[in-house]
Amino acid sequence: MADEAALVGNRGKSSRHPVALAFPDDFDVDATSLSDEVVHSNGRASARAYKPAKTLAGRANNNKPIFSSSVAAEILELHPRTLRIYEEEGLVVPFRTDTQRRRYSQNDIKRTRFIQFLTQSRRVNLEGVKIIFYMLDELRQLGIPDPVRHIFQEYREID
């Protein structure tokens, strides 16, 4: 009952988005890849564009662009301008609607959380984040399946 009041009341006063997202460890996609393609855990690559799920097995499609800029910013607890800066720097590439509005997927949210981890916890600037993403891509090409978990132990704890 208190949860319903929190969702209905406090118009404009809530500092958190009412949708709680779960980010399990077994995502099929690598949210730290810099390429416009999504690289799956089995090594296959697919286009960045949203593709609906082929089955109704109940598995969420983490690449579906469902969050507007303001909702994504609220979930991430950052200013919408920060999301635009990340886009301008090429760190996050949101889906664009026919009317050129930005839409973010759960993978975009996860990628942005990793950027926040690097910039806030590790004090890395955005150019450094680009270099880290490049190095992570190189490590993946060398056959290391999940270099983020090997290198950043404390990120595993917050993810």
pLDDT single digits (tens) 15-71:
444 444 434 343 344 555 545 454 444 455 444 555 555 544 445 689 999 999 999
Q: Directed axis angle between helix 69-76 and helix 106-116, to 10°?
A: 40
Domain boundaries, the chain: 30-48+61-158
pLDDT attached to residue 49: 53
**Phi and psi for 118 in degrees, rounded to 5?**
-65, -45
pLDDT digits (tens, 9 = 90+) for 95-114: 999 999 999 999 999 999 99
Tell me the pTM. 0.63
Q: What is the CATH number of domain 30-48+61-158?
A: 1.10.1660.10
- 73-82 — which CB contacts under 8 Å span 24+ positions? 74/16, 74/17, 75/17, 75/19, 75/21, 75/109, 76/109, 76/112, 76/113, 76/116, 77/15, 77/16, 78/112, 78/116
DSSP state of 20: P
